[in-house]
Amino acid sequence: MLTLKGGTRPPWVSLGASVWVQIASGNTFTFPLYSHSLKSVLGFNQRQLTLLGVANDIGENVGLLPGLACNKFPPWAILLVGSLASFLGYGLIWLALSQTLKSLPYLLVTAS
């Protein structure tokens, strides 16, 4: 059975924190906007692009883990980790698409 962390905040705060991180990072809306650029600028083929789309969809569904982790950690820590992960992931893709990074391996894009 899941035990809730004791304290003064209600348990639904963790759900709110995880939803806020997902909304702030824009996972559900941005991949179709930059997927064509990934294909043309980085030279990915359609199979690689499809695998990236699947990884993006899996990442959206794993976004509920911060809500569960918030039972053990404070919401500010979860939001900090989520914000840093989004900043690094989307920052890396922006650097690749703006051709600031000339050579970006496919495995590095899938990790972000």
Domain extent, residue 16, equals 12-111
Tens digits of per-residue pLDDT, 44-66?
Answer: 888 888 888 887 777 767 766 76
For residue 62, give the DSSP letter.
G
pTM of the entire structure? Answer: 0.58
As a whole number, mean pLDDT of residues 15-29 equals: 68
Number of domains within the chain: 1
Query: Would you say residue 54 lies in a domain?
Result: yes
Query: Would you say residue 7 lies in a domain?
Result: no
Q: Which of 73, 62, 67, 64 has the alpha carbon at shortest distance from 12? A: 67
Query: Would you say residue 3 lies in a domain?
Result: no
